Amino acid sequence: MLNYDQEALDAALYEIAEKIQLSPSKYDLAKERYRAIADHLNERESEVAKFSPHIYPQGSFRIQTTISNSDEKDEFDIDLILEMKIDTNNDPHVVLDSIHRSLNRGRYKGKVEKKRRCVQVQYSDMHLDVTPAVLLAKGLPSRPCQIFDCHPEREDHVQAAPEGFALWFDERVLPSQVLEARHLAAKASVDPVPDQKQLDEKPPKLVALQLIKRWRDMQDSRRKGNIEKIPSILLSKLSADYLDEEDRSLYSVLSHMTNHLIRIMSHDLGIVLNPSYEPDELTDRWPGERRASAAVPSNQEYFLEDLKLLKANLEEMAGASAKRHRELMANMFGERSSSSGTALYEGSNFARQQGFSSDKALIERLVTGGHAFLKSLSLQTSYEKHPQWPMMPNCFVQVTATIHPEKHGPLLRQIENGGAVGIEEHICFRAVGRPVRPNGPSFPVGSTIHWRVTNTGKMAAKKRQLRGDFSNETGKSLWEHAAYEGVHWVQAFVVDARGNCIGKSERFCIVVS
């Protein structure tokens, strides 16, 4: 088994989180759509305009844990609260029908659907759920409100405080950060949404919650919704109760948070209240009724088993081979979302995959062992792009390399395959062919040289520069800049005028230190 490399695991998990959360452009688009809905509801044609509609974000969008709900494409749920000055005794159907009519016109015509607690505005890449509510107490930061529920088996009027929960969650999860002040005009129709934090600015606890939510959704999709999954607000509350003790490793926090949830789910969950407003019961809809012979309700039991499986997968990740790591990540977070994360794990973990404790140890061995030792290594990675041309080899090609202080600068020296290069030096790789006749061309007339460049090591992985793809530059020479410590290589491919790959070189390796 390989040694446990926490940095490599963190790199892979952060890449997954970046893939499944709202991108900066999607986040800005969600804010734009959210404000547009507020304006639409305040127009003269809107039935609810006379009730001073005031809209603000709630749930995952508010606490910045939104994730895509599908591995096939990026679909996001954006939850909003719509406060109105109406009587709390209104029939939920009447309230929701009025909002539906107010939204289902103009730009939103045909894009609106009435649900049991909200009216949903649908887009191809996201939907925005507008939940009507009545503010119950003015001046309280928690903004307790009453929401309207059309579910036949639940109460019509339910008290909640989503903003209060978000403020509690922020204080719990972001204790070292300055929380955004929200100074609002008294008659404002929309609350501003805080700018989304970059992934490297989010505490590991917040990112770990996003990954657990993704695992929950993956398991739910496999069951095809036959079991009711734990609501995000309840999962967020229980996860926020985990004290990470300043642990900064995402892998470690994710593992410990999973163990924390396993301990909670192993016993009857009982009643869980919103910490900011006790009348708001977070367990009003989940886990549901318990069977007579069961220790916990079936929904909770399924989630407990899911958590145990997640724990087993995480434990196996610590030391898994690159191939097994890819299988585990795809199972936990989806094939499409996991592909780049597994590349980061493999590239960052390259030295350990070769049996060395660090990039530095591998580099030192290569420098002393030279080309003879190089032959013992496995110079290939799963993130190398496969050639897109039909392979019809009938042409010889090899690569040579020279070192220069700058691009097109004076020659410093020539290096062999596996040679050492200093940081900031420039390398000129050249493709050398073998003429089929004396004084003939090195390569067949009309052919083109394509170059594939692959980096490994922690420095390249951290900068998202593992590459493994084909350079935009073609021709008999390729210039590269030695910027990242580690073991890297290039390979030349000869493509004829018909689009067939008629020759490829061995991988030419350089050791940057």
Q: Partners of 82 in the beta sheet? A: 55, 132
Mean of the pLDDT values across residues 425-433? 96
Residues 253 and 247: beta-carbon distance below 8 Å: yes
What pLDDT, on a 0 to 100 scale, did the predictor assign at position 4?
55
Query: Which range has the top average pLDDT, 18-27, 78-87, 193-202, 359-368?
Result: 78-87
Note the pLDDT of residue 189. 57
pLDDT tens, residue by residue, 99-118: 999 999 999 999 999 999 99
Q: What confidence category does residue 294 fall into, taking pLDDT thresholds of 50, 70 and 90?
A: low
CA distance 279 to 238: 18
CA distance 403 to 409: 9
pLDDT band at residue 176, thresholds of 50, 70 and 90? low
CA distance 338 to 258: 20
Of 246 and 441, the one with more pLDDT:
441
Q: What is the mean pLDDT of residues 452-475?
A: 93
Based on its alpha-carbon atoms, the radius of gyration of the chain, rounded to whole angstroms, reads 29
pLDDT band at 2 (very low <50, low <70, confident <90, very high): very low
Query: Residue 195 has what pLDDT?
Result: 58
Q: How confident is the model at residue 191 (pLDDT cuts 50, 70, 90)?
A: low
In order of 243, 306, 366, 375, 479, the CA distances from 371 in angstroms are 50, 48, 8, 7, 22
For residue 256, is pLDDT > 70? yes
Residue 321, amino acid = S
Q: In this predicted structure, what is the pLDDT of residue 400?
A: 97
Q: Are 512 and 486 in contact (CB under 8 A)?
A: yes
Average pLDDT, rounded, for the chain: 89
Tell me the average pLDDT across 376-381: 87
Over range 237-242, report the average pLDDT: 95
pLDDT-derived band at 325, boundaries 50, 70, 90: confident
d(C-alpha 456, C-alpha 321), whole Å:
16
Distance of CA 63 to the CA centre of its chain: 16
**Closest of 69, 115, 17 to residue 225, by C-alpha:** 69
Q: Which of 34, 39, 41 is nearest to 56 (CA)?
A: 34
Confidence band for 415, pLDDT divided at 50, 70 and 90: very high
**Which pLDDT band holds residue 291 (cuts at 50, 70, 90)?**
low
Collect all residues with Cβ–Cβ distance below 8 Å to 115 and sequence separation of at least 6: 96, 129
Q: State the pTM of this model.
A: 0.83
Spatial separation of the C-alpha atoms in residues 365 and 374, rounded to whole Å: 9
Q: pLDDT, tens digit, for every residue of 50-76?
A: 999 999 999 999 999 999 876 667 789
Reported confidence tier of residue 197, pLDDT bands at 50, 70, 90:
low
Comparison of pLDDT for 292 and 97, the residue scoring more:
97
